[in-house]
């Protein structure tokens, strides 16, 4: 079974897809549609296709010069690394079904990843710390049995031990409203010190910027989604995908485990979806105003063009929608959600190594640090299981904000300098091939949505409510799944809402 999803350079099919979309960038809508969909990410495209399948005419407006939204593949770098929308897992049933519908091959990377189980190296301050020495290390702030855990596992252990309710699937239920407190307050109440929280949660944070701006219910939602994906080990058997249903588990991989991606880059999926649209897709149309009544709607773009339709579906993240004029304003709670819903800052640096320096220093190329590098993940998309095609530096939370303030050129210099300081064998061998900050991206202003303390209780129920003829979708409106699967979940819901109102 081939494990390479990027073994070819940008194919003729991919090039043709890009060219086909580009020709529509400055086109004009041919006639007034039934529905305008704002945003050509997964949720917007899926909603548009579903509405078209049910007989409605649709116009899609996209502010970027590409489709995919936060699914973004660097097609000009070795291995085609992902900037957003990195992988799917067992419970991504809608993603898997969409790939099958649009002829996109799903490749299971689990055998390749399990074949390279050296894991990630731990660097605290200036020091490389072998995991076997961490429990007794003087910089280990944890207590009791948890001292044995690496920093990246401490938070999960605390949540597993102390989460005050077990039906995590119902994280948003009003009966859990009393737990809509900050992760910091929750961990402190269970004996965690600020030093423990800083290293075990805030460093390389998965949600928010610090433990003080993440709701415990947000963490419960994330834990639920992780548990679903660990448990749904038979999901792929329903797709008929030949490359993952051989019935013979790869050596070292637990049966049924999926760490999946789309061959040729994950952006291949939204590109294929866009090509199936019957109506117009207009790129470089940044929406600045939305007017809605009980009978219809009007959308205006930054270049002055305006479009009318019976309804509007908005897939824009609230981090950017808050800068769009909506007339009339949504009801106060929904408006507050649009203005205040949190988003995690994430900045990536994609590095190319001139030669594999990790073979010289004997360490894994992947790292977990408490410094500017954050996490470094080796991308293994070459022709062999052990080939590293690039290194991705993930800066998150406060770390991402710090690097963003430096600007691309200076922050790139800092990243390479820090890398060489921690790994002297890399000196002179690394260069930054690409940088992307989701926070400074004007069409995202952050990566995935984060409920801050109190926001689940106060705002969640209002987030996706239709506002006259304005409907909302996007991963921030999903309640059962996250990431790319959440985008598809929200598209299902919004399509049903629009069709029911037609």
pLDDT for the residue 365: 95
| Alpha carbon distance 186, 162 (integer Å) | 9
Residue boundaries of the structural domains of the chain = 24-76+265-341+452-501, 117-162+181-214+346-437
Report pTM: 0.91
Bridge pairing between strands 35-38 and 306-309: unpaired
What pLDDT, on a 0 to 100 scale, did the predictor assign at position 117?
61
Q: Average pLDDT for residues 170-187, to the nearest whole number? A: 98
Compute the average pLDDT of residues 185-204.
Answer: 98
pLDDT tens per residue across span 342-353:
999 999 999 999
Which listed CATH number (3.90.1150.10, 3.40.50.300, 3.40.190.290, 3.90.660.10) goes with 117-162+181-214+346-437? 3.90.660.10
pLDDT at residue 316, rounded to an integer: 98
Indicate whether 183 pLDDT > 90: yes
Q: What is the pLDDT of residue 382?
A: 85
pLDDT of 5 over the 50 cut: no
Q: Provide the pLDDT for residue 118.
A: 66
Of 27-31, 127-131, 367-371, 391-395, the least confident: 27-31
pLDDT at 49: 98
Task: Encode 419-455 in three state secondary structure.
Answer: HHHHCHHHCCCEEEEEEEECCCCCCCCCCCEECCCCH
- 102-106, 247-251, 271-275, 444-448, range with the lowest pLDDT: 247-251
Quote the percentage of the chain above a pLDDT of 70: 89
Q: Do domains 24-76+265-341+452-501 and 117-162+181-214+346-437 have the same CATH topology?
A: no
Supply the pLDDT for residue 256: 76
User: Considering the chain, what is the average pLDDT of its residues?
Assistant: 90
Among 377-381, 391-395, 492-496, the range scoring the smallest mean pLDDT is 377-381
Cα separation, 231 vs 195, in Å, equals: 33
pLDDT score at 115: 66
User: Which of 9-13, 29-33, 405-409 bottoms out in mean pLDDT, i.e. has the lowest?
Assistant: 9-13
Angle (CA) 351 354 360, round 5°: 105
Q: Calculate the alpha carbon distances from 59 to 42, 131, 242, 409, 425 in Å.
A: 15, 54, 36, 39, 53
pLDDT in tens, 128-171: 999 999 999 999 999 999 999 999 999 999 999 999 999 999 99
Highest mean pLDDT among 23-37, 106-120, 214-228: 214-228
Reported as a single tens digit per residue, the pLDDT across 65-115 is: 999 999 999 999 999 999 999 999 989 999 999 999 999 999 988 887 776
Q: What is the DSSP string of 118-157?
A: T--EEEETTEEE-HHHHTT-TT----GGGGGS-HHHHHHH
User: Is domain 24-76+265-341+452-501 classified as CATH 3.50.50.60?
Assistant: yes
User: Quick one: pLDDT at residue 259?
Assistant: 86
Mean pLDDT for 259-273 is 95
């Amino acid at each position: 079974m081939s494990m390479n999803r990027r073994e070819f350079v940008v194919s003729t099919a991919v090039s043709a897809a890009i060219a086909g979309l580009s020709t529509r960038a400055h086109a004009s809508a041919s006639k007034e549609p039934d529905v305008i969909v704002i945003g050509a990410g997964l949720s917007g495209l899926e909603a548009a296709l579903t509405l078209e399948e049910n007989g409605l005419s649709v116009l899609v407006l996209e502010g970027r010069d590409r489709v995919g939204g936060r699914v973004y593949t660097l097609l000009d770098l070795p291995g085609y690394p992902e900037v957003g929308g990195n992988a799917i897992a067992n419970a991504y049933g809608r993603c898997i079904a969409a790939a099958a519908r649009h002829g996109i091959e799903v490749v299971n990377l689990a055998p390749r990843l399990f074949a390279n189980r050296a894991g990630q190296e731990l660097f605290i301050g200036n020091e490389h710390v072998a995991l076997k020495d961490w429990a007794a290390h003087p910089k280990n702030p944890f207590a009791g049995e948890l001292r044995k855990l690496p920093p990246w596992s401490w938070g999960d252990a605390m949540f597993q031990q102390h989460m005050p309710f077990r039906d995590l699937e119902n994280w948003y239920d009003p009966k859990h409203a009393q737990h809509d407190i900050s992760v910091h307050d929750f961990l402190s109440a269970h004996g965690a010190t600020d030093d423990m929280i800083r290293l075990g949660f805030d460093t390389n944070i998965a949600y928010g910027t610090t433990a003080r701006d993440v709701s415990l219910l947000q963490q419960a939602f994330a834990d639920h989604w992780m548990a679903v994906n660990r448990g749904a080990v038979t999901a792929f058997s329903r797709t008929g995908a030949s490359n993952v249903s051989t019935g013979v588990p790869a050596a070292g991989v637990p049966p049924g485990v999926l760490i999946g991606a789309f061959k040729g880059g994950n952006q291949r999926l939204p590109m294929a979806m866009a090509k199936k649209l019957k109506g117009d897709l207009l790129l470089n149309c940044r929406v600045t105003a939305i007017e809605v009544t009980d009978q219809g709607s009007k959308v205006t773009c930054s270049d002055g063009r305006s479009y009318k339709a019976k309804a509007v579906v908005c897939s824009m993240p609230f981090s950017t929608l808050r800068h769009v004029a909506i007339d009339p304003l949504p009801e106060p709670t929904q408006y507050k959600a649009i203005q205040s819903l949190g988003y995690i800052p994430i900045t990536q640096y994609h590095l190319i190594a001139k030669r594999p320096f990790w073979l010289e220093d004997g360490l894994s190329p992947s790292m977990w640090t408490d410094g500017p590098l954050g996490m470094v993940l080796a991308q293994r998309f070459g022709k062999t299981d052990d080939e590293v095609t690039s290194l991705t530096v993930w800066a998150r939370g406060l770390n991402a904000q710090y690097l963003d303030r430096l600007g691309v050129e200076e922050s790139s210099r800092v990243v390479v300098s820090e890398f060489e300081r921690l790994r002297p064998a890399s000196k002179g061998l690394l260069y930054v091939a690409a940088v992307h900050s989701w926070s400074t991206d004007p069409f995202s202003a952050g990566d995935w949505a984060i409920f801050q303390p109190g926001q689940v209780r106060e705002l969640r129920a209002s987030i996706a409510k239709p506002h006259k003829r304005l409907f909302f979708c996007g991963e921030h409106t999903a309640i059962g799944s996250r990431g790319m699967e959440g985008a598809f979940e929200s598209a299902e819901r919004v399509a049903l809402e629009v069709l029911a109102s037609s």
